[in-house]
Chain A
Amino acid sequence: AQSVSQHNHHVILSEAASLELGCNYSYGGTVNLFWYVQYPGQHLQLLLKYFSGDPLVKGIKGFEAEFIKSKFSFNLRKPSVQWSDTAEYFCAVLPGYSSASKIIFGSGTRLSIRP
């Protein structure tokens, strides 16, 4: 069965530290990839997405992600985190050419930033 793995359940960093959140998926075909963020008490918001083209995708708020097809990975990065980045981050995979109803979410990574 298709699945999305987010390796870290909870990450704690200090402000200005660099961030990398891992995401691996199991699906052999074409995929669309997403990172969503959920700030405390708020809804899911799209951070960035990859459909095709340049595997290095830039999103909002200084986030970026790199699609490495050979590793089935789509890790999220930010060079210098801020306290306001405290949130839960979800990686999601949509197998190619299918409805968004087929989006598979990872279990999420809770990011806590120490001021």
Chain B
Amino acid sequence: DSGVTQTPKHLITATGQRVTLRCSPRSGDLSVYWYQQSLDQGLQFLIQYYNGEERAKGNILERFSAQQFPDLHSELNLSSLELGDSALYFCASSRLADGTEAFFGQGTRLTVV
């Protein structure tokens, strides 16, 4: 158990819908990272938050957004879902912003039908 909790584990939704994925970092970790793992794109960094503020942005679509709350949990919002958004979404956390050791959650498997 990495200490990073992601909910839900599985999500099936229809195209055009909006979903929210949730991540609780390890106790004491201030940084949260979101990654998307798909068959064709591999593991891609989406976005990082550090202590409530956006720190870095990767290949995140405009239809996607995230935030980190005062209690440090984070949510990734995916809207206007398309079939191609089906993937495993991982959250990782680390203590520092330069998180050279990030711990990953179990992921949320999103299936868009």
Give the dominant DSSP class at A's interface: mixed
Contact between chains at A45 and B31 (CB < 8 Å): no
Contact between chains at A100 and B105 (CB < 8 Å): no
Q: A45-B2, A99-B56, A102-B56 in contact; A51/B100 too (CB < 8 A)?
A: yes
Which residue from B48, B98, B101, B104 sits with its C-beta under 8 Å from A43? B104
Produce 1/0 per residue, B13-56, CB < 8 A to A. Answer: 00000000000000000010100000000111101100000011
Q: CB of A46 within 8 A of chain B? A: yes
Contact between chains at B42 and A101 (CB < 8 Å): no
Cα–Cα distance between A32 and B100 once the two chains are bound (Å): 8
Residues on B with C-beta less than 8 A from A105 are 42-44
Count A-B contacts at CB 8 Å.
Answer: 58
Name the distance in Å between A49's Cβ and chain B's nearest Cβ: 7
Contact between chains at B56 and A44 (CB < 8 Å): no
Name the distance in Å between A88's Cβ and chain B's nearest Cβ: 10
Contact between chains at A90 and B43 (CB < 8 Å): yes
Cα–Cα distance between A44 and B90 once the two chains are bound (Å): 9
Contact between chains at A49 and B98 (CB < 8 Å): no
Contact between chains at A100 and B98 (CB < 8 Å): yes
Contact between chains at A100 and B94 (CB < 8 Å): yes
- Could you list 29 A-B pairs, sorted by A, with CB under 8 Å? A32-B100, A42-B106, A43-B105, A43-B106, A43-B107, A44-B90, A44-B104, A46-B101, A51-B100, A97-B98, A99-B55, A99-B56, A99-B98, A100-B33, A100-B48, A100-B92, A100-B94, A100-B99, A100-B102, A101-B33, A101-B48, A102-B45, A102-B56, A103-B45, A105-B42, A105-B43, A105-B44, A106-B42, A107-B42
Q: Which 6 A-B pairs have the closest CB atoms?
A: A100-B99, A101-B56, A105-B43, A101-B48, A44-B104, A43-B106
Chain B residues with a Cβ under 8 A of chain A: 2, 4, 31, 33, 42-45, 47-48, 55-56, 58, 90, 92, 94, 97-107
